[in-house]
Every structure is written in structure tokens, then in C-alpha cells.
Amino acid sequence: MTGTVEADIPPRVEVVCLGESMVTFLPSRPGRLADVPSFARTIGGAESNVACALAAAGHTVKWISRVGADGFGDHLVDAIAAYGVDTSGVRRDPARPTGIYFRTATDRATDAHEVAYYRAGSAASAMSPENMRAAGPWSGRVLHLSGITAALSDDCLALTRELTARRPGRPLVSFDVNHRPGLWRDGSGARVLLDLARGADLVFVGEDEAALAWDLRGADAIRRALPEPEALVVKRGGAGATLYAREAGPGQRDTVTAVPALNVEVVAPVGAGDAFAAGFLSATLRHLPAAARLRHGHLMAAAALTAPGDLGTPPSRAHADRLADLAAADWGRLRLGPGWTAATEQEVRTP
């Protein structure tokens, strides 16, 4: 299977997303965690974020994970299923809790940002090749994973290694590097994530995280370090994103496509990377051209950036298609703020 999704295989779902989701507590106001008086409950998790965004965009999606046999586990399964995601692959663990975390309202990139995780020993950290095989991780056209899962435990790493091993019959494997240094207490994260990414068909990685993890500067250097995936998406923050897609035929030549980012009024920066992956995967499933795949990634990311939680309401498919088809100059003039996904194309364009 190549960097595009085969259209002649009709499995039960289009995308399977495997990984931990947690109950997330969002602050009622800015400030230190010590000073915030109350929190609103929502959900968060890289792979379940992708699953929910894809389902909201009209795709058939299955989420595979483990949660505790507790109220937080009930909430996660119910909330994710409400997006239209198939949760039949979620296993309940009576001995381990569902993970939760609290965060501040400030940008993750600033020193003022705080996150308090309560996920050690969680039900999801007990995922392994043995107990998740029956859940059907290879039952879709695409399997989406992230580097976060690999960091949760030795068993989770073994599972991620098995699912990214190149074997006949596997679906297209999509892998978001998602380097979280704090989860890799032994310092092995950078090396492990590079190995896992080399086993995937489609890789998403931020230019900044590649610099931090692998001391690689620039998109071309990242591609040289990751020649194996048939498609590599390098997210470059405000500069946009670049896709390296291997051309058919002999050799290792790439078609390189770059699309600038949108001008967005950011409400909360969390979840944008997951939303970008969902938008790109959605366009890939629809066999859209390279530039359109990147634009749909930017549009889905903008939906997350202009919402307070990890998940934003995506634009309708017709609305997103109209915006993705704009001429380059019109794309550059787009200004997107809260509520833009319910607006028309003319309403979100700057005169």
C-alpha cells in the first residue's frame, strides 16, 4: 500500500485510531492551577481527538483503547461515541483507573502553562499486543497512531512496535510523532520515535519537535532522516506545512508541496495538531490532490484553534471544499475567528 488509500477495499470502517483518551478539566479562568476555583469537564487524547474530528466530518471511525470501570471511563466512551465514533474496541479495566488531567488556559508554549496529569498506572497504559489484538486495530483502511501511546508503558511500546512493523496485509499506517519529553523518563523517546516513524506509511511531525528530539533543522533535513514513509508532513507552525510524497516508479523521488498557514484568531492552542491530522486524513481518504490535503489540514486545525477545548466543530464538507479550492491570493486573505465554521465562505473572507 502506498501513501494514498486504496479505494477498492471495503472494510467496516475507514479509520481506526488507537490510543489513550483522558477526562480533561479546563479552567474557568486564566491563572495558575493553584488559583483556578473551578474547572469544566471535557475529553482529550491525541488519537480520540482525530477519531472525533473525522467522524464529525462524515467518516466511519473506530476508536480502540482501555478505560477504567469507573465514571470517568463511562464519560469518555459516551462522549466519544456521541461524535459517531465506533467504541466497540474499547476495553474496560476493573483494576486500573481512567486517566485524567488538569490544565491552565495559557498557551502550551509559554512558561505559564501548567498541566497536571494523573495517568500513571491508567487502564490505557496496560494496552499490549496480547490484550488489544481482538479489538481489531487492522480492521480499517487506515490505522492512526501517535508517539504518546508508545511512551505510556513497555507494553504500550511493544504494541506500537507491532502495529508499525511492515507486514503484508496491514492498512495504511498513519503516525503522529507527538514527542512529549516528560513522558520519556529514561530519555529514550527521541530514538524510539524515529524508529517508529520509519515503520509508518504517513508521518506527521512538527518542525519544532524534530529540532528538539533529533536536532534536525528544516523540512528537508527531516525528510532525509525519514526516507522510509511514503508520505511525510512537516508542520511548520505559522509558516504552514510541507508534504513530501513519494512518486510512483523507480527511485526515491518526492513531489514536494507546501501550503501556507491560515490567519486564525486563537482561542485555545491545544488540539490543533490532532485536528490537522484529521483534516489531512479526511482529504486523503477522498483522494484529493496534495495541496488540498494540506489545506484541509489547516482548516480542521483552525476549527480546533478557535474553540476552547481540544475539539472544535469542523466546517461542513461543502464549506471546507469551497475554502480549500480558493485561489492562492484568496486563501492568503482568509481570517478565521470563533464561529467561522458555521459561516459562509464570504463571511470569513477579508474584503
The amino acid at residue 113 is H
Catalytic site residue from 74, 274, 310, 325: 274
Cell matching residue 311: 475539539
Per residue in 274-313, pLDDT (tens digit) is: 999 999 999 999 999 999 999 999 999 999 988 877 778 8
For the stretch 172-190, pLDDT in tens is 999 999 998 888 888 889 9
Looking at the chain, list the stretches that DSSP marks H as alpha helix, in order from N- to C-terminal side: 46-56, 71-81, 129-132, 147-151, 154-164, 189-198, 207-214, 219-225, 272-285, 290-305, 317-324, 328-333, 345-348
**Local confidence pLDDT in tens for the 351 residues of the chain:** 344 555 444 457 999 999 999 999 988 888 899 999 999 999 989 999 999 999 999 999 999 999 999 999 999 999 999 999 999 999 999 999 999 999 887 655 556 678 888 999 999 999 999 999 888 999 999 999 999 999 999 999 999 999 999 999 899 999 999 998 888 888 889 999 999 999 999 999 999 999 999 999 999 999 999 999 999 999 998 899 999 999 876 767 899 999 999 999 888 777 889 999 999 999 999 999 999 999 999 999 999 988 877 778 889 999 999 999 999 999 999 999 988 888 655 455 543
* Annotation marks residue 86 as catalytic: no
- What digits encode the pLDDT tens for the residues 58-88? 999 999 999 999 999 999 999 999 999 999 9
Query: Nine-digit cell at 251?
Result: 527511485
Of 57, 84, 107, residue with least CA distance to 279: 57
Give the pLDDT of residue 3. 45
